[in-house]
Structure 1
Amino acid sequence: RGTGLTNNLLQIDVTGDSDAEAVARAKALAETFVADHVRRLRQAAEAESKSLLDQRDSMRKELAEVNKSIGDRSPDDEPNASASIESLFARRAELDSRIAEFDQRAAEALTGTPEVVAGTQIVDAPHAVRHSLPRAVVTDAGIGLALGLVLGLALAAVGAVVADRPVLRREIA
């Protein structure tokens, strides 16, 4: 049974016919979980990087079209076309900037993964935990006794306050 303790910590409880078997099962399960987690981290990073690179390639195609449009213009074009050429140059600058940004983000997506993978590890080695039935019974009985005492005292206090209330009303009237 696996219990998530925090967003990055998992506790695994395993049973077996012997302590050695339970420890071996826990170790195998923990190693399998870590390997699967690492594989998923790498796949997610690669998918994110591929998506960013695909977007970058799409923008490069658009940049090539803008460059072609700029190249097709002749200096002898009418003066009214200068605004159009200016907007093409602005678009080219924007595309250059976004392409560089996508390159950087794709590199960062792959760069951070090895650090996370290196930090993914088994924190505590698997070990057998002793369970004592008499100790559990004594602990549960002590907790029950303490809770019963507290609830009994609270109930007695509430009963005393409620019982005195009608007497006070009669005296006031």
Structure 2
Amino acid sequence: MKKIIFFFSFFVFLFGMSFSNDYKKYVSVGLGVCKSKKYNGFNISTDFGYKNNKDRFYLNLSNLNFDTQNDLGLFSYSLNYDKFIFNDVNFMPFVGCGINFIEIGDDNGVYDNKFGFNLKAGLLYNFGTHWSLNLKEIYTYINHKDIKYTYGTTLNLEYQF
């Protein structure tokens, strides 16, 4: 039920943003490394959202896999807001935050669902009319017995349309 409410809220938001002339749609895919207090791992992420030269709003889907005996994994759905500190034509540093809904599981299946929040900082590099690279450092807090937090670096390739 929580997941349904979470996605419904995001799609209402996307529908509302589609009427704004200031924001353009974008999608991105990325790979990165992540770490928790006990484990090292990697992540794969995808963003869907709206941005302009001041800020952006987006849904991030991330799959974090940690190197454990049972391949502990997290699947995170997060609603995010990033603010660009200054908007140079090519380089745009940013800070941001988000709310996460996280499914935690291993080879035996999903065994816990948690809410969390994230903080991030990064740099967006625009090249061409529609393409950009996005390097971000993300810290996510999760109130869970095995994983209290994760942090990692992700490099995303973005396409704006």
TM norm structure 1:
0.20
Which of the two has higher C-alpha Rg? 1
Higher helix proportion? 1
Higher strand proportion? 2
Higher relative contact order, chain-length normalized (CA < 8 Å, sep 6+): 1
